[in-house]
Structure 1
Amino acid sequence: MKNTKISASALWCLALAISFSLVQCTKAEKDDDFTPGDPPPVEGGFVNSSEIEPASLVAYFPFEDNVDDKQATVTGGAIKGSGTFTEGRKGKAYQGANGAFISYANPGAVGALTSFTVSFWINTQKHDGGAQGVFALSKEDGSFWGNFFVIIEGNNSSSDKMLTKLHFEKNVTPPINNVEQWLDLPEALRPDNMYGAWRQITYTYDETTSKVAYYANGQRITIDENNAGAIVNRTDRKANDTTPLGALAFKNPAKFVIGGYQNQLGAPYGGAEPWMLTYTGKLDEMRIYKKALTPQQVSALFKLESQGR
């Protein structure tokens, strides 16, 4: 009887030793190397990118071997030219090419934005000779500039700072003094190290504050003194008019383009000018929301998408 008790005690001690050894050998998980099951949430409590403002997401293009908007509001999409698909930041991505772009017959809810967040991943090299179009919301009347677009300017310098330009408009009756709004940063404020690898770009505009903000890889770019977002008003056209821009209003939105300008669509836009280039890099995970995401949400979106979530 005494020998039985000693054996049981020895077995218990052996099991405890093995358990302690396993705990000691377990390595901490890295941010991008999760074990099966739900990974830990990022700041804000988000586990997947789909959890960020789902009710405000009006268009989502993951480019999983197709050009479909998963929110099904932007429809009638087709690749024009030799654009194709390739390995992306998350799954597959759109691979642009010279003269290639994606045309959508119906811009859906993108045409009704009054505030916005637009976020996308790019992987591109420097180019010269003009500006490449990332996306554009066209106008039915054939006006020179579209309602809403982002372009990447050429760079033939040794700097890896990227100049992207954001354009959006407010077309109302009676017309306001400054219909066109541009965010065009001086070189000192442009994000660095933006070429040759996957980089996320995000823009937001909030109609309640009339402020626009710019993010690179989830980090807010300082574009004003207190980094609270630049106030968009009409002072650049009329010195005594300081009325905030407020809710946007697009004029007769007709089509949506990814990887080019509205001018690539042909009539009634008069054709693309020589400096209007199509996007030739990789493009992935484009999301458009009808509200301005908070800095925390933008940061969370970057972290989640960079981890493939």
Structure 2
Amino acid sequence: MRNLKYNIYNLFVLGAMVIAVSSCKKDGNPNNLPSVSASSYEGKIDGYLSSDEVYPKNLVAYWSFDTDNKETKSGVAPTTAVNSSLVDGGVKGKALNLSAGYLYYATQLNAFKTDSLKSFTISSWVQILNNGSKRTMLFTIARPGIFNGSLDFRLNTNSFPSTTTNILRVGPRFTTVGGGSQDNLNNSLSPIIGADKWTHLVLRYDGTTGVFNIFGDGVNIGSFNNRGVGNNLFKSYEPGEIIIGAHYNNIPGKSTNADVTFAAMTGKIDEMRVYNTILPDAHIKALYNLGIAGK
């Protein structure tokens, strides 16, 4: 009888333990969420398989430079291409190589019309050196006959000699609703550059707050980010033209004055993307990490 009572007690304890374990398992997933498989994340970087998956609905202009110089969303080809070629060794596939060259698009892109572009993020990979004498215009939404564009993605390659590869001053500017000018500069932080190093540069502008950021290799490096609202907000004027690698004054017959601040670009460009929204920091970092991985 004693052994029977002992066995009954043991069964009671065992049953209580089973119930307790079952209860713990249930409490560990109180909302009955579906299970997650590690295989779903294989090959992904920051949640993405490629740069093409980053904010695709807001990507309004894209130059891959894999097969030609067309802007892929509109299919618009450059009106003029000078000292340019497509070469192997890009961040993804081929890249645009400029030897004191540029691409000029005289066609107004719908994505850059006044009512279409309020906020933006512009991402581009470059291989470039300082030159100690001339600025480089990486990308501009130019205004015919006017020196300053609606947006000028300027690289102050004039600031240091070519031997300086630990500092690149990025000095973008834009024209405001009131007709004035706002800019930014990376006074203290800088990405590393080099003739054979791909450097990721990003401009991000919030058309509601007036905050204008510069990123270099995934890091926010700008020094003068708050550019104001009201008449200080960015405006994409019409008509607008696109120039990659040069200023109007570098294009024969298009000069607006005698200013010789800029020289046509010598270097490489790849994966130039324009979004009509502000990409969060984590997604800018993802574009950098994906590019480093060739994705």
Shorter-normalised TM range? 0.7 to 0.9
Which residue of 64, 67, 72 maps to 2:74?
Answer: 72
- 2:85 alignment counterpart: 84
SS in 2 for 1:96: strand
Instruction: State the alpha-carbon separation in 1 of the partners of residues 246 and 63 from structure 2.
Output: 16
**1:271 and 1:253 mapped to 2: Cα distance?**
19
1:218 to 1:192, Cα distance in 2 relative to 1, 3 A: closer
Percent same amino acid at aligned positions? 22
Give the match's secondary structure for 1:305. helix
Structure 2 match to 1:156: 161
Aligned residue number for residue 193 of structure 1: 192
Q: Residue in 2 aligned with 1:25?
A: none
| CA distance in 2: counterparts of 1:79 and 1:38, whole angstroms | 43
The residue correspondences of 1:212-291 to structure 2 (distance < 5 A) are 212-221=212-221, 223=223, 230-233=225-228, 243=230, 245-246=232-233, 248-267=234-253, 269-270=255-256, 273-291=259-277
CA separation in 2, counterparts of 1:111 and 1:261? 20
Q: Is structure 2 residue 294 aligned with structure 1 residue 308?
A: yes
Query: Which stretches of structure 1, 4 residues or more, deviate above 4 A after TM superposition?
Result: none
Q: 1:185 to 1:130 in 2, by over 3 A?
A: same
Which residue matches 1:146? 149
Q: Distance in 1 between matches of 2:284 and 2:122?
A: 10
Deviates more, 1:293-302 or 1:211-220: 211-220
Report the AA paired with residue 148 of structure 1. Answer: L
Query: Could you give the per-residue CA deviations for residues 89-130 of structure 1, whole angstroms, max 9, x where no partner exists?
Result: 2110010112x2101121411244111101100112221221
Shift of 1:288: 0.5
In the alignment, which of 126, 132, 147 is matched to residue 122 of structure 1? 126
Q: Specify the SS of the correspondent of 2:140.
A: strand
Shift of residue 47, structure 1, vs aligned partner? 1.9
Matched to 1:164, the amino acid is V
Deviations 1:55-87 (A, max 9, x none): 1111100111311111116x2414532211112
Can you list the C-alpha shifts for 1:248-297, whole angstroms capped at 9, x where unaligned? 32222331111111233444543673331011001100001111100011
Q: Distance in 2 between matches of 1:116 and 1:195?
A: 27
TM-superposed deviation, 1:222? 5.6
> What is aligned with 1:297?
283
TM-score, normalising length: structure 2: 0.76
Once residues 139 and 228 of structure 2 are traced to their aligned partners in structure 1, the CA distance between those partners, rounded to angstroms, is: 24
- Structure 2: runs of 5 or more not aligned: 1-39
Which residue of structure 2 lines up, in the alignment, with residue 13 of structure 1? Answer: none
Q: Residue type matched to 2:92 in 1?
A: K
After TM superposition, give the deviation of residue 216 of structure 1 in Å.
Answer: 1.0
| Paired letter, 2:149 | G
Question: Alignment length, in residue pairs?
Answer: 248
The alpha-carbon deviation at position 133 of structure 1 amounts to 1.4
Aligned to 2:78, what secondary structure does the other structure show? strand
The residue type equivalent to 1:123 in the other structure is Q
Q: Equivalents in 2 of 1:81, 1:271: separation in Å?
A: 21
Structure 2 residue identity aligned to 1:59: A
Q: Which amino acid aligns with 2:180?
A: V
Letter in 2 for 1:60: Y
Q: What is the SS of the residue equivalent to 1:231?
A: coil
Alignment partner of 1:131 out of 130, 135, 158 = 135
SS of structure 2 residue aligned to 1:55: helix
Q: 1:268 & 1:41 partners in 2: Cα distance?
A: 46
| Structure 1 alignment gaps of length 5 or more | 1-36, 225-229, 235-242
- Conserved in 2, the CA contact under 8 Å of 1:131 and 1:276? yes
Instruction: Identify the residue that residue 60 of structure 1 maps to in structure 2.
Output: 62
